[in-house]
Structure 1
Amino acid sequence: MVKNKITDIKFALDSLSVYRGLLKDNVINKFNLLLEYIINDNRDLSSIINKYNDFYYSLVSSNSTNTFKSYVINCILFDDNVFSRSAEIKNFNEIDDCIKKAVDHDLLCLQKVALLSAGDIKDHLEETNPHWSFETDIIASLPTWDFKDYEINYSGIYDIFENFNRSEYWSLCTKDVADFYKLNGTGIFAKYKGFIWERQDGFGNLKGIASPDPIRIADLIGYNSEREIIIKNTLNFLNGYPSNNILLYGERGTGKSSTVKAILNEYYDRGLRIIELPIMLLPDFPQIIKIIKDRPQKFIVFIDDLAFGDNEESYTALKAILEGGLESRPKNTVIYATSNRRHLIKERFSDRQDEVHASDTIQEKLSLSDRFGITVTYLSPDRNKYIEIVEGLVKNRGLIIDKEHLKKEAQLWEMRYNGRSPRTAKQFVDWLEGQLSEIDK
């Protein structure tokens, strides 16, 4: 009977142990509430329709899946639990057998949940309410979630989705899931490679960036020697060797931030993650450390456009971070910062007059940048370097244009707009590509 099937699936949800945290997921929670309501033989059709559509709305609004089955698999892969935490740092045979058996059971339960169709629920409602007449059409018209096949857009996930789809019993996928955690990490650190620290209602938290800048090192033209310093330090960091915090100093538009983003995209598959920390939230650094210090991934804490005026709290916080306070920087964390100011502090004439030991205060503030282990300077390009960057971008995009004409137009562009910089070069090439595309029409 359909009723027994629905009841069995509700019991499957209730019996989750290792993956019990999934019951708090918005979509699965709505699904659970729907099942709970209908197996208790409630006869209020309006409430049934509302709970049904609450679940449906949550599913189609999740932006991560097309089918409920795929959504459940997604939840399994990106859950943060005792099994996933163990699997990302241990070999499969080192994980406690009791935990692995519990995972086997949970995966079978979640398979039952994932395979329940909208038709099963509709059949149950009609079977348990034979006295309904006109309501039958209303139930039949409820939307289904039997959509087209899941479109996988997350690197490294296709194979394990195929394993789930091919497996008669999901419990056979336990080791595959463990291998996924080992390779990609767990929870939000598996789902995202970039984060921003934000504060809401007085509480700080990491927010995953769904669509980070896709720029790669090969897309960056010029500044090879500067970039090589940062790459070598990053590789030392990833390999567990001593590494330094880095300050990228230079004129605006020279590619400082782009370099850091490109390094993330280049080495993400080696466990690199990035957390952007807004300057006004620097005092929250100890909170971030508590979240990431025991993780196997390596983290760049990225502070963009670093400069201080009267914000003594942020200045003091950064000084403590760089020097190492009670909450010292763990080995899986480095700090990369960009700034247009070599000395980071806006020095005012009043600073020279207000204190008896003014020179000591000034020197302390001006030496803050020296507390970074490495400072890499990005200078604005001269005219020849600017043209070289333009030509490199044009070549990368496969654009065909006369070299002398390109040089002339590029020089006109930098005089009319933002001066010479890699950013200006990119803006010019963007415009040029648009013009050439219009001509090709």
Structure 2
Amino acid sequence: MTKNKIINAKIALDSLSTYRGLLQDKVLNELNGLLTYLLSQEKEISTIINKYNDFYYCLINSNSTNTFKSYIINCILFDTNVFSKAAEIKEFSSINNCIKNAVVNDLLCLQRIASLSAEDIKSYLKETNLHWDYEINVVMALPVWDFKDYISSNSKINSIFEEFNTSEDWNLCIEKLADFYKENGTGIFAKYKGFVWEKQNSIGRLKGIDAPDPIRISDLIEYNFERKIIVENTLSFLKGNSANNILLYGDRGTGKSSTVKALLNEYCDQGLRIIELQKAFVSDFSEVIRAIKNSSLKFIVFIDDLAFEDNEENYTALKAVLEGGLESTPKNLIIYATSNRRHLIKETHSGREDEIHSSDAMQEKLSLADRFGITVTFLSPDQNKYLEIVEGMVRNRGLIIEKEQLKKQALVWEMRYNGRSPRTAKQFVDWLEGQLN
């Protein structure tokens, strides 16, 4: 009977233990409310319709999948719980058997919930609650939620997704699920690869970036020696070896920030994640550490356009982080910062004339940059290098233009606009592409 499917789905929701946090999910919370009302003694057709559509609305606006089954699988993959956290840092065989047994039961329950269809609910209503033709017509017209299978751009997610999608017994997927957590982390760290630290009402949190900049190392022209230093340090970090914090110093528009962003796209499959931290939030660094220190993934904290005014004391917070305070920086975190100022501090002739030991104060400020183990300098290109960058970008985009004409237009562009830099070259090539097409 259809009623049994409704009852079984409700019992399955109530039976969740390790994955019980999923009951707080908006979609599953709305489903729970709908099923509870359907199984109650007194029911009003208007309330049923509202609860049904509340569930449907949450599901289709979840920005995740287009089928309920796909949504449940995603909930499993991106949940943070005692099992997922253990699987991230331990071998599957080392995880407590009581926890694994609970997960097996939860996976079967979630499979039962995922099998619930719009037709099941409609049939149940038709069998038990409707008395007039107009009510039947209204219920039969309610929207369904099975559209098309979910496909992610992440091949690792697609692999584990397909395991669940094709399995007749989800409990058999538990070991591969544990492998997924170990390789990709848990919760938002599995779902996203780039993050920003944001604050609302004085409370800081990591926010995942849905569409990070897709730039790759191969998209960046010239500055190969500079990037080689950064890439080698990053690879050493990913291998678990010693690695340095890096200051990328140089002229504006030379590709410092783009280099760091490109690292994420190159090495996210090797467990790299990047957290962008605004200078204003440097004092929150201890909170960032607590958010990631138990993860098996590797994190670069990226501070873009770092610079402090002469009278600004916030630089002491960063200095403390670089030197190491009472709360040590975990081994899975390093700092990459970009700046247009060599010493990160705006230097003035007056310095701090009111201090007796003004030279000591200035030395303290200028020493901040020295706390980075490596400084990589990006200087504006000369004319030949600028033209090589333009030619490389034109070649990468497959644009056809006579070389002398390209040179002439590129030089006119840099004189009229922002001077010679990779950023200016990109702006010119963007314009050129529009003209040629």
Report if TM-score (shorter chain) is over 0.5. yes
Contact in 2 for aligned 1:283/1:313 (Cα 8 Å): no
Paired position in structure 2 for 1:422: 422
What do you get for the CA RMSD once the two structures are aligned? 1.4
Percent of pairs identical after alignment? Answer: 69
Kept in 2: contact 1:276–1:301 (CA 8 A): yes
- Which stretch shows the higher mean deviation, 428-437 or 60-69? 428-437
Query: 1:121 matched to which residue of 2?
Result: 121
Distance, in Å, in 1 between the alignment partners of 2:334 and 2:25 is: 33
Letter in 2 for 1:107: L
Q: Which residue identity does 2:122 align to in structure 1?
A: K
Structure 1 residues 71 and 54 mapped into 2: Cα distance closer, same or farther (>3 Å)? same
Q: Give CA-to-partner distance per residue, 1:222-263, whole Å, 9 cap, x none.
A: 101111111111111111221111110011110000000111
Q: SS in structure 1 opposite 2:144?
A: coil
Give 1:298 deviation, angstroms: 0.7
Structure 1 distance, partners of 2:235, 2:318, is 24
How far apart in 2 are the matches of 1:398 and 1:325?
A: 51
Work out the CA distance in 2 between the residues paired with 1:193 and 1:429: 29
Aligned match of 2:40: 40
In structure 1, distance between residues paired with 2:310 and 2:170: 58
- SS of 1:93's partner is helix
Alignment of 1:189-228 (within 5 A): 189-228=189-228
- Distance in 2 between residues matched to 1:315 and 1:424, nearest whole Å: 31
Aligned pair in 2 of structure 1 residues 117, 324: CA closer, same or farther (>3 Å)?
Answer: same
Mean Cα deviation higher: 218-227 or 167-176: 167-176
Which residue does the alignment assign to 1:104? 104
Distance 2:353 2:204 in 1: 38
1:4-153, aligned counterparts within 5 Å?
4-153=4-153
- Within a 5 Å distance, the mapping from 1:349-360 to structure 2 comes to 349-360=349-360
Q: Which residue of 2 aligns with 1:408?
A: 408
**Could you give the per-residue CA deviations for residues 82-123 of structure 1, whole angstroms, max 9, x where no partner exists?**
111122222222222222221111111101111101111111
Alignment correspondent of 1:265: 265
Distance 1:352 1:311, change over 3 A: closer
TM superposition shift of 1:311: 6.8
Supply the distance in 2 between the matched residues of 1:41 and 1:251 (Cα, whole angstroms): 72
Whether the 8 Å CA contact 2:255–2:422 is kept in 1: the answer is: yes
Partner of 1:253: 253
* Closer, same or farther: CA 128–13 of 1 in aligned 2, 3 Å: same
Contact 1:66 1:151 in 2 (8 A): no
Q: Per-residue deviation at 1:42?
A: 3.5
Which stretch shifts more, 58-67 or 173-182? 173-182
Shift of 1:185: 1.5
Note if contact 1:231-1:263 (Cα within 8 Å) is conserved in structure 2: yes
Contact 1:79-1:187 within 8 A present in 2 as well: yes
Bigger mean CA offset, 97-106 vs 279-288: 97-106
Give, as a single letter, the amino acid of the residue that structure 2 aligns with 1:160.
I
The answer to whether the Cα contact below 8 Å between 2:249 and 2:340 also exists between their aligned partners in 1 is yes
Contact 2:130-2:136 at 8 Å conserved across structures = no
Aligned partner letter, 1:334: I
* Alpha carbons 1:88, 1:186 under 8 Å: kept: yes
Moved more, 192-201 or 126-135: 126-135
- Is the 8 Å Cα contact of residues 300 and 333 (structure 2) preserved in structure 1? yes
CA shift, 1:146, in A, is: 1.6
Aligned partner of 2:331 in structure 1 is 331
Query: Equivalent residue of 1:156, what SS?
Result: helix
SS at match of 1:195: strand
Q: Are 1:341 and 2:341 counterparts?
A: yes
Mapped partners of 2:62, 2:155: distance in 1: 19
Which residue identity lines up with residue 154 of structure 1 in the other structure? Answer: N
TM-score, normalising length: structure 1: 0.96
* Residues 310, 351 of structure 2: 8 Å contact kept: no
> 1:23-73 CA distances to partner (integer Å, 9 max, x unpaired)?
111111111111111111332222222211111111111111111110000
The alpha-carbon deviation at position 283 of structure 1 amounts to 0.5
Shift of 1:313: 4.7
The alignment partner of 2:234 has SS state of: helix
Deviations 1:298-321 (A, max 9, x none): 110000000112674521211111
Match of 1:361 in 2: 361
**1:236–1:153: structure 2 CA closer, same or farther, 3 Å change rule?**
closer
